Amino acid sequence: MTDAKDAAREVLAREKEASDKAKAEYAERTKGKPTPTQEECDLAVLGAPSTEHEDDGSGPDPYARKDVEAKKPSGSGYQTRQAGASQSRQTTHTPPHRSE
């Protein structure tokens, strides 16, 4: 009977250790405070505009993109074609009209 009791205590200890580990990981993932905060939500309901939020403590967003405008080309850039009819494409020949 003591062997079964010792085995049950061992299993219980392992389960408690796994549970404590999972709780610690969850607490690490959910640290910080919500954004927007309740105060910011209450102010928004009353009509106060909110463009800036309090820092929630989570740090910078690893997926945030920094949009940067490309540099302007140096010199004249590149050459484009002129729009319009050229002399070589104009036809001097008029097709005959059909008479009805």
Does 15 map to a domain? yes
Does 23 map to a domain? yes
- Token readout for 19 is 């549970």
Does 33 map to a domain? yes
Q: How many domains does the chain have?
A: 1
Domain enclosing residue 16, as ranges: 1-50
Does 25 map to a domain? yes
Tens of pLDDT along the chain (100 residues)? 689 999 999 999 999 999 999 999 988 877 777 677 788 889 889 998 877 777 777 777 777 777 767 677 666 666 777 776 655 555 566 667 776 6
Does 38 map to a domain? yes
In which residue are the tokens 């540099």 written?
A: 71
Does 3 map to a domain? yes
- Token readout for 64 is 């945030």
Strands (DSSP E) contained in 13-96 are none
Contacts of 50 (CB under 8 A, 6+ apart): 36, 40, 43, 44
Report the distance separating Cα 47 and Cα 41, nearest Å.
10
